[in-house]
Chains A and B, each alone.
Chain A
Amino acid sequence: MPSGFARHARPAPYTRHVPRRLKSLVLAAVMVVGACTGATVDPAGIDPLLPTDAAAVRSLLADSEQPVVLNVWASWCTPCRSEAPLLRQAHQQFGDRVRFVGIDVRDSQDGARSFIAEFGLDGYEHFFDRPGAVPAALGGFGVPLTFFYAPGGSLVRLHSGVIDERTLALQIDELIRGGG
């Protein structure tokens, strides 16, 4: 009976065909997933977004009796596309306890409506900020941004960049429990 080491001692390399196999695997996965996810976008049912400015957003936050998740996005922003499904899911799960607000910056109305239709984000309110002045006035920089506000408008947390599921769920839990 050979020892464990002897049975491990095997000179044949396994790595010779790695690139070809990996490419085949990735290509097959892309084709399968791509075929399953045809995006049908019909923005006709989405109303044009109402323009807003920093003062109006501050007023909205101050008047809110619920905590607010305020997401800054744009249709041209690739990371915003990636986090949009998470925000939709979070709104479906927590929309009765937390107010969700979207601010579309430096964008066109057509682009904004297509984005909302594509990701099914019409469940919560969105505003149009063509000059992109609101995020800077609230203390953020860049896109995407996600602000978490306690009732009454005090900032609990600002997340810059793409937000992940765990962080979004944790911060919403903080808002609901009044951790700020």
Chain B
Amino acid sequence: MEFTLLGAVAIAVGLMYATLWFEGGRTNAADCTRDVWDALITGAMAGLVVGRLVAMGRGGVNPVTNPGDILIVRAGVDTIAATVTALVGFGFMVRRDLWWMADSAAPAAVAGLAGWHAGCLVRDACLGTPSDLPFAVAQTGSNITRHPVEIYAALLLLGVAVLLIAWKRSRPAAGVVASVAALAIAVVRMATEPMRPVLGPSLITWYGAAAVLAAAVLAWRVRSVRCAGGT
């Protein structure tokens, strides 16, 4: 792994931890911070490893015969496999108290994702498709200005994280904050994906499917709580 990628990871993890630290005793119970942190990191690591393995498999590299390649994360991580594994890993870790733990983790996870996108500044990988907007940026030595698409994603996700924290003060029903966070992440990704240069087919339909799924979970959580007559 190259140092610029490590820098981006450090920003993501730092923002995630800072958010959990800020929420501890305010919008999260102080004694659950450590458990949420452990579950988030475990989910992220499991997602990274499985996403890398799937990317290698799809590229025709056998991870059993080439175990060293697993460490070359920069060459690709399968986004869908990584996301599903991270969610399953996190859910498995907190399965005894899934919805409340998911709500506790949601703003930190969104902030961590914002940090990952902001890490483009150290990776020199912020730019997307060409644009004439006044805030578009050109590469050094180039005359083509482009959307700073990763900065868009970082700002949007950071805004979502702040709103979620503020909303948690009103004690919404269990699972609603996490569902809204998942929906917001999928929508931000859908909105920014057309501005990203990609090889092969775009993943936008997968993000659309994720948004629909998150909206369905949100509706289910709201309805469950209403039917139970609680908050």
Contacts and interface: CB of A to CB of B under 8 A. Distances in A.
Interface of A: 1, 3-5, 7-15, 18, 21-22, 25-26, 29-30, 33-34, 36-39, 78-79, 81-86, 89-90, 93, 118-120, 156-157, 161-170, 173-174, 177, 179-180
A79 B231 contact: no
5 contacts: A11-B31, A15-B34, A21-B92, A165-B199, A169-B197
Interface in B2-59: 2, 28-29, 31-32, 34-35, 38-39, 42, 45-46, 49-50, 53-54, 56-59
Contacts of B64: 30, 34
Contacts of B85: 25, 29
B121 interface: no
Nearest to A9: B29
Interface stretch (B68-76, B151-159, B179-187, B206-214): B68-76
A161 B35 CA distance: 37
| Chain A interface, DSSP helix/strand/loop, else mixed | helix
A33 B56 contact: yes
A4 B96 CA distance: 16
Contacts of A162: 2, 72, 74-75
B168 to A, nearest CB: 8
Interface string B172-211: 0010000000000000000000001111100000000000
Contacts of B63: 30, 33-34, 37
Given A1-B230, A93-B199, A34 B127 contact: no
Interface of B: 2, 28-29, 31-32, 34-35, 38-39, 42, 45-46, 49-50, 53-54, 56-66, 68-69, 72, 74-76, 85, 89, 92-94, 96-97, 100-101, 104, 125, 127-130, 138-139, 141-144, 146, 168, 171, 174, 196-200, 230-231
A71 to B, nearest CB: 13
Contacts of A34: 62-65
Nearest to A79: B72
A33 B96 contact: no
Contacts of B197: 166, 169-170, 173
A165 B74 CA distance: 9
Given A8-B28, A29-B50, A164-B76, A180 B171 contact: no
Contacts of B57: 33, 36-37
A164 B56 contact: no
A79 B60 contact: no
B142 A179 contact: yes
B75 to A, nearest CB: 3
Contact of B46 (A25, A39, A86, A119): A25
B2 A161 contact: yes
Contacts of B38: 14-15, 18
A173 B141 CA distance: 14
A166 B120 CA distance: 11
Contacts of A38: 62
Contacts of B32: 8-10
Contacts of B45: 22
A75 B194 CA distance: 35
Given A25-B46, A37-B57, A179-B142, A78 B69 contact: yes
Among A29, A30, A82, A118: residue with most chain B CB under 10 A: A82
A85 B66 contact: no
